[in-house]
Amino acid sequence: MNDINAIRGFLAAAGYISDDQIDTAIYLSRAINRPILVEGAAGVGKTFLAKAVSAGLGLPLIRLQCYEGLTLEQSAYEWNYSLQIMRLQTARNADWETVKGQIFTEEYLMERPLLAAARLGQCVLLIDEVDKADPGFESFLLEFLDEYQITIPEIGTITATSCPVSILTSNRTRELGDALRRRCIHLFLAYPDQERERLILQSNVPDADEELVRHVQSFAATARRVAVQRPPGMSEVVDWLRALVSLNVGGVTPEIARLTIGVVVKDTADAEAVLKAVSSGA
């Protein structure tokens, strides 16, 4: 991790084609112990970036999938109430202070992703789609991202012995708070340019010939220009190229596009608009 140039190499080995901005963000995240907030449209490779960093560094990936209503207990830790009740039933004659000291221990603590990352330290922590969590959840994240520690009232503060590589992703379904943004290195992922897209397709589907790759890129560009609800991301385009290779086709004819468009465009109205644009040469 001391060489920015090495980052592109291990990401490529993990199947991720990066660029200078991505490589630098990952390097700086480790150099100054700051999480990366990766924003961009769905399908541009935000989650895959975290997986590639994990594979490239040989570190375990711990993933926290965010959603509306996510709580502290679901993201960090919770007590094993069933075991605690069983312990209480065997200690009916003991005073409460004694029993309390016995049941609020790590033996009865169930770790969730954030606590697991703090304990492990050497890992990649993916906080995926943080924009889907409630704004209040961000407040809890602030302590964790500042010091990589979690305060458990019954036990105390658990602090990571080393900082995890932390990557937060957002599809920008809502604006994140300034306090959270200030703690992160910001990285915006757009759809790749033509050359990087070609490299991504060839890396993921090496059996595809160059002509077919060019056809797929042209179709994807049209689809992203025309589709309104769900423009195809790179994962869908890669899947479509794999599908075309499996069908042993050499190009994208209007009929092939009609039969296979469900692999790459996931909305009916979008699909109709894309097929119309392709058939008219728009």
pLDDT 10s per residue in the chain (282 long)? Answer: 458 888 999 999 888 999 999 999 999 998 999 999 999 988 899 999 999 999 999 999 999 999 999 988 889 888 877 787 777 777 666 666 666 666 777 777 888 999 999 989 899 999 999 999 998 888 889 888 988 888 888 888 888 888 899 999 999 989 999 999 999 999 999 999 999 999 999 999 999 999 999 999 999 999 999 988 889 999 999 999 999 999 999 888 889 999 999 999 999 999 999 999 988 765
Residue 85, pLDDT score: 78
What is the DSSP-derived secondary structure letter of residue 95? Answer: -
Residue 81, pLDDT score: 75
Q: 177 near 135, Cβ under 8 Å?
A: yes
CA angle at 182 for the pair 177 and 185, rounded to the nearest 5°: 115
Rounded CA separation 111/109 (Å): 6
Q: Hey, what are 254's tokens?
A: 């209007």
Rounded CA separation 142/127 (Å): 13
Match 């200030």 to its residue by tokens. 182
Q: Hey, what are 263's tokens?
A: 């692999």
Q: 207 near 246, Cβ under 8 Å?
A: no
Mode of pairing for the β-strands spanning 61-65 and 124-128: parallel
* pTM confidence score: 0.84
Q: Write the CB contacts of 276 (distance below 8 Å, at least 6 apart in sequence).
A: 282
Residue 99, pLDDT score: 65
Runs of H (alpha helix) within the chain: 4-13, 20-31, 46-57, 72-75, 81-89, 96-103, 113-120, 135-147, 178-182, 194-204, 210-226, 234-246, 254-264, 268-280
Half-sphere exposure of 30 (CA within 13 A, CB side): 15
The 3-state DSSP composition of the chain as helix, strand, coil percent (nearest 5) reads: 55, 15, 35
